Structures are given as structure tokens and as C-alpha cells.
Amino acid sequence: MWKTVLRRLLTMIPQIILLSIIVFVVAQNMPGDPFTGMIDPNVDPAQIEALREAAGWNDPVPVQYVRWVGNVLQGDFGRSYAQQVPVTTLIGGRAANSLRLGIVSTFFTYLIALPFGMFAGRFNNSWFDKFVMIYNYISYAIPTFVLALLMVFIFGYRLGWFPTFGSKNVTMTAGTAEYYWDMFYRLLLPGFTGGILGTASTTQTLRSEVIDAKTQDYVRTARSKGVPEGKIYAKHIFRNALLPIASSFGFIFSSLLSGSVFIEQIFAFNGMGDLFITSINGRDYSVVITLTLLYGILAIIGSLISDIALSLADPRIRID
Amino acid sequence: MATEENLLEINNLEVGFRFGDEYHNAVDDVSITLKKNEILAIVGESGSGKSTLATAIIGLHDPLNTKVKGEILYKGLDLTKLNEKLYNRIRGNDIGMIFQDPLGSLNPVMTVGKQIEESLIYHTDLKENARQEEVLKLLDQVGIVNPQRTAKQYPHELSGGMRQRVVIAIALANKPPIIIADEPTTALDVTIQAQILDLMNDIQDETNSGIILITHDLGVVAETADRVAVMYAGQIVEEAPVDILFTDPKHPYTRSLLNSIPQELEGEEVAELHVIQGTVPSLQALPRTGDRFKNRIPWMPDEVFDEDPQLAEIAPGHKVRGNSWKHFYFEGEEEK
């Protein structure tokens, strides 16, 4: 198995090089640059031109690309023009926020989707199944910002159970247990909101897998052994119905870091989704390129994780 | 009453499937007994209700869409009246079932050892170690060469014949007095079929269990069975000891079936294969009165068929349904 993992990681290299070229060229061809709108229009255009020259943006694109690659290989991803900090510092803080939020969201997604899918499948056409179906339609159809605003309004504003914005309380001393508890507490509402939005597809997949597995011959065999109904579901039906969920695990992993623009905006949560949009709007090339590359790498690793997860869950699939 | 030597006694069993608001019987008025130490074959075309009968004996019909009437007596208990919990004590313990498709019948993500062990978990007090030892013994009993290795393998890693041996080991795990084998050789190569049949004969010799063998293969019947019941459209049309059924078949359906076996003639002349006209009618289209086989032997005059043919004993152990057999001749033959 490790050979395959190594081989897959090696084939990532040309993929990433290709990706970086495309991203670089597209980014350079976006109209405008970080100085558009940043600088007072009364400033002498010659001065702006001097800045552009100093930043190297008047060089041919291939020259710029090679220079950029050279820097990246030394661990220098450039500086954000908009915020005047190194890109790595900027992304690092945001990524931690998005990762925490992503993990909590995924946790809620599975917490809701697994029991819903299993029981809707086991008791299909029951009132519970119908309830799950309606829930799915709603959670699938409702726009993120509408749900997020509702959550903030109900649980944050009306009931006052949760803080309505921010990822941390800046008045608390960093590093204390209270501070971390507060950080976790602030994750719950946005995490739950994001979690709900992700449930529909997992629930539906699991439900139809369970219904399909119920009629399989191996389930009949298990029944003919006198295995009690509960155990039939636990050991035979659910175990097989979960296989497609295992294979989607890697994609969830790769989405953990990408964040959700709407949720981050509404909960004032400084995350990657927000950063990505802001950096594109601000033509903050170095940030855009680094983020796109990061997402590309995550997608490739995610599909590898999916394959590994599936091979662990399903003995018929072996990667070697 | 089930007598000492009758393991299983089925009386007037009906199994109806629901179509909309109506139930249509796939098994209709079946009465038959299984004795100790015998292999009872149930033969018939696809759709004749033989697998439905097997499923009813082990109580695996979906109660929402199926209606079971009549009695299945085992040790004085009427199985059709049992609740799920009690039935689960019978299934696997008193009745073992062998299925047709050995790949589909095994859970793809569970080792075969675990699947055999599962049979033991719910019917014995054996501890885990003892169970695993028992699993190895069972695998050895069904002719697996390397039980240690096979127990740790998954179904897809085994050959078709080995899988069927595993399925048999599952059915045998608790040494049930009754074994139901639903087309155990249909999905297998001819050479493997013979091995599996030998194995079933051996098992029967060792365990003295009663085996119900469901098949459409008359060759299999001739090779293994002691007694045969022929089913057509949900009913038993003829029941006889195996040698009598093959030498002196009575019912038109039995005779047609036997006539459909390809015969090898001496010389170059090859007999034309007899084909029974038409197919078994669908459940909804099945005539509920009169002789159900009538429309597949259209050359027979109407008056030879009974209004309501019943199974009657014409010789000790030989039962035939209705009286049409007394007048039956094959198409093209002279009337007797």
C-alpha cells in the first residue's frame, strides 16, 4: 500500500507544476492590480509605474513565474500587498480558524446524517422517513446565508445562547483554559449551521444504500442463521451501506480548509473563504496563487485519502 | 399430528403475495412431510413456488406483503404462529438453510470465519475460542483443505465451490435436524456440482438430518433424493419415492418434465427435444379453479380434467393430483 501512496504523491508533482502555471498566468491576466484603488488618483502615474517596475510586474510573465517559483522553493510565498504581511502568516491564522470550523461542521454533519440516513433507510416509508425527506429538501434548498442569519437571529440574538460573531474573545488572556473554552463555544453555532447544510447528500446516500442492502442475499443468509434484527442491521446492513460514505471522506477532508464564505461573513469568523474572495477582489496575486495551489494539493491528497479509506473499509478493494 | 419419524409436517400451506389490495397464492394447498434421514427433493420450473415454500418454512417472508396460512409443524410447534424472537431460536439452530448464489449469500466485508461463527453466537454458550475451534472443524467437515487460512479470508478471495462449502458450513454449524437447500448447485460449474452433491450426501449420512433439496435439475434429483415432490404453479402435483417417480411417473406435468431431459440415442439419430409448451402463468393470471396444467397441454380434451383436482394416493407413498393423468398422452401420440 505504501508504494501506491508514494507513487500517488510523486504524480502530484507534475500536477502541481501544471496547476501553478495555469493559476499564475490567469492571475496575471486579471484586470487591474493591487495598486488600483489603493492609491490616491492624484498621485503621479509615473510614480505608480515606478512602483510596478519595482515590484517586477512589467517583466514578461515567464520571467515573473520563474522568479516566483524560485522564491516558493525557498519557502517564500511572497507578501500580501493588501495587508503587508507575509502570505504564510496571513494564511496560517485563517487556516487554523477554518480547520476548526470545518472539523466541528463535519462532526455535526455526521452526527445528524448517520442516524437520519440509517433509520430512514431501515424504516423506509415510515413517518420518520418522511420527516427526514422533508428535512432533506429544506436543508438542501435553503440558502446558506438565510439559514445562517436565522441561526444568528434565533440562538444568538433572541435566545442569547451563543455569541453572534467572532472566533475568539480578544479581552481574554490567550492560553488560559477559559480562553480555549470560549473559542470552542464560539465554534458551535457556525459549525452547527455548516453541519446542517452538509447533511442532505450524506443522508440520502446512506438511506438508499441501506434500502438496497436490506434486500441483499447475505442479509437473508444472516436471517436464516437466527441473527436478531438489531444485529442484522448493525453487522450486515449498516456496515455495507457505509462503504460509499467512507469513499467520500477524503473529499470532506479537502473541503475542511476551504471554508464557507457566507458563514464566515455572517458569523464574522476570519477564515479562508473570506480571505480567498477578498484577495481576488483586491488582486492580491501572491495570496490568490498560494491559496489556489493549496486547494489543488488538498484535492489531490483528499482523493488519495478517499482511496485509502475505501480500501480499509472494503476488503474487495486493495491498493498495492 | 407429527409422528416420531416425521421431522417436519406441512399441512395445507398457502403463501400469498400482496399485489395492491389482493393476495395471490404462490404456494397453494401444499401438504408434505419430511422424515428423519431422508432427502426430499422438490422439483419444478422457475415460478412453481418451490423457493417460496422454502422461505416460508424458515419464516423469512416479509410479513407486510405476504400472508402465510396453514401449518408447519415442527416438534409439536406450529412455526407459522411463532413470533420473530422464537423463530430466531429455530432458524440456524433447528433449520439450516443453504442458498443458491454462494457469492451473494455471503457478506462481502466479513471474513468467512466470522460468518460461520455468527451462527454459533446465537445458539450456543461457547466462548470465543471454542467457537473459533468449532469454525475450523466445520470448514474441515465441508472439505476445505486449509481451514486456518480460509477462515480469515473474505468471500471474494474464494472460488465458487469453496464459497458454497462455506455456505454449507454456515447451515451446518449447529447441526440442525432439518436442512433446506435451495438450488445449492445451480450457480456452480458441473464438476463442482458433483462435489457439492457428494458433500451433501456425506453430510446426510453423518448427521442423520432431513434435507429438503429444492432444484429444477432432475439429474440432481436422481443422484441424491430419496423422495420427490413435483410442484407446478404453487401446488404439489405428484409425490413419490425417487425410483418410482423416474420409472413410473403419472401426472402429465411430471411426464412432460422427464420427457424434456435430453436423451442420448444409439446411432446417429438424435431424438428431438421435448419442450413443454408455454410458461408457468404469472401469479395474477393463474387460474384458481380447475387443473392448472391444462393450458399447457392444449391437445387434451376438456372432459379429462377435474373441476377441483386433489392430491390422492394411488399407491403407498405415491400421490398424484387429479385424474387427468389416466387419460394423458403426448401430442402426436395415439390416444390410449
Per-residue pLDDT reduced to its tens digit, A104-122 = 888 998 999 999 999 999 9
Q: Are the beta carbons of A221 and B84 separated by less than 8 Å?
A: no
Q: Are the beta carbons of B58 and A224 separated by less than 8 Å?
A: yes
Range of the domain at A208: 87-313
ipTM of the complex: 0.86
- pLDDT value of residue B3: 47
Burial B310-326 (b: 16+ CB within 10 A, else e): ebeeeeeebbbbbbbbe
- Tell me the average pLDDT across A149-171: 77
- pLDDT value of residue B268: 56
Distance, in angstroms, between B271 CA and closest chain A CA? 40
Q: What is the mean pLDDT of chain B?
A: 86
Q: Are the beta carbons of B105 and A227 separated by less than 8 Å?
A: no
Assign domain B6-225 to a CATH class.
Answer: alpha beta
**pLDDT band at residue B310, thresholds of 50, 70 and 90?**
confident
| Predicted confidence (pLDDT) at residue B269 exceeds the cutoff of 60 | no
Q: Is B265 exposed, middle or buried (0-12, 13-18, 19+ CB in 10 A)?
A: exposed
- Tell me the average pLDDT across A156-162: 79
Q: What is the pLDDT of residues B197-234, one digit of tens each?
A: 888 888 888 888 899 999 988 888 988 899 999 999 88
- pLDDT value of residue B40: 93
- Tell me the average pLDDT across B265-292: 74
- pLDDT value of residue B101: 86
**pLDDT band at residue B1, thresholds of 50, 70 and 90?**
very low
A→B contacts (Cβ < 8 Å), by residue, are: 216-218, 220-229, 235-236, 239-240, 243, 313-316
B92 touches chain A (CB under 8 A): yes
- Tell me the average pLDDT across B10-26: 89
Distance, in angstroms, between A141 CA and closest chain B CA? 34
For chain B, give the percent of residues with pLDDT over 70. Answer: 94
Q: Are the beta carbons of B107 and A217 separated by less than 8 Å?
A: no
Q: Are the beta carbons of A236 and B107 separated by less than 8 Å?
A: yes
Distance, in angstroms, between B181 CA and closest chain A CA? 12
- Tell me the average pLDDT across B2-30: 84
| Predicted confidence (pLDDT) at residue A15 exceeds the cutoff of 90 | no
Q: Are the beta carbons of A226 and B167 separated by less than 8 Å?
A: no
Q: What is the pLDDT of residues B140-172, one digit of tens each?
A: 988 889 999 999 999 999 998 899 999 999 998
**pLDDT band at residue B29, thresholds of 50, 70 and 90?**
confident
Of A217, A227, A315, the CB nearest to B118: A227
- pLDDT value of residue A41: 65
If one counts the domains in chain A, the total is 1
**pLDDT band at residue B308, thresholds of 50, 70 and 90?**
confident
| Predicted confidence (pLDDT) at residue B124 exceeds the cutoff of 70 | yes
Q: Are the beta carbons of B110 and A220 separated by less than 8 Å?
A: no
Residues paired with B35 in a beta bridge: B6
Q: What is the mean pLDDT of chain A?
A: 82
- pLDDT value of residue A172: 67
Q: What is the pLDDT of residues B48-67, one digit of tens each?
A: 888 899 999 999 888 888 99
Q: Are the beta carbons of B106 and A224 separated by less than 8 Å?
A: no
Q: Are the beta carbons of A225 and B119 separated by less than 8 Å?
A: yes
Query: Which chain A residues are closer than 8 Å to B118 by Cβ?
Result: 222, 225, 227, 235
A119 found inside a domain: yes
A18 found inside a domain: no
Query: Which chain A residues are closer than 8 Å to B85 by Cβ?
Result: 228
- pLDDT value of residue B264: 63
Q: What is the pLDDT of residues A76-93, one digit of tens each?
A: 777 777 777 888 888 888
For residues B196 and B198, what is the distance between their CA atoms, to the nearest angstrom?
5
Query: Which chain B residues are closer than 8 Å to A239 by Cβ?
Result: 107, 109-110
- pLDDT value of residue A152: 82
What CATH number should be reported for the domain holding residue A206? 1.10.3720.10
Q: Which of A105-119, A160-174, B179-193 has the least mean pLDDT? A: A160-174
Number of neighbours of residue B92 by Cβ within 10 angstroms: 28
For residues B52 and B282, what is the distance between their CA atoms, to the nearest angstrom?
14
Q: Are the beta carbons of B84 and A314 separated by less than 8 Å?
A: no
Q: Are the beta carbons of A225 and B90 separated by less than 8 Å?
A: no
| Predicted confidence (pLDDT) at residue A285 exceeds the cutoff of 70 | yes
Distance, in angstroms, between B299 CA and closest chain A CA? 42
A272 found inside a domain: yes
**pLDDT band at residue B39, thresholds of 50, 70 and 90?**
very high
- pLDDT value of residue A36: 60
Between chain A and chain B, the number of residue pairs with CB atoms below 8 A apart is 81
Give the CA distances from residue A157 to residues A151, A263, A268, B317, in Å, rounded to whole numbers and listed in that order: 9, 16, 15, 85
A263 found inside a domain: yes
Interface test with B, best of A123, A215, A218 (most B CBs within 10 A): A218
Q: Are the beta carbons of B99 and A223 separated by less than 8 Å?
A: no
Of A217, A225, A240, the CB nearest to B101: A217
Which of A49-53, B112-116, B278-282, B325-329 has maximum average pLDDT? B112-116
A139 found inside a domain: yes
- Tell me the average pLDDT across A30-54: 68
The pTM score is 0.81
Give the CA distances from residue B199 to residues B117, B168, B208, B226, B296, in Å, rounded to whole numbers and listed in that order: 21, 9, 14, 16, 37
Of A221, A229, A239, the CB nearest to B170: A221
Give the CA distances from residue B307 to residues B27, B36, B76, B290, in Å, rounded to whole numbers and listed in that order: 19, 36, 35, 5
- pLDDT value of residue B271: 61
| Predicted confidence (pLDDT) at residue B272 exceeds the cutoff of 80 | no
Nearest CA-CA partner of B259 in B160, B331, B169, B186: B331
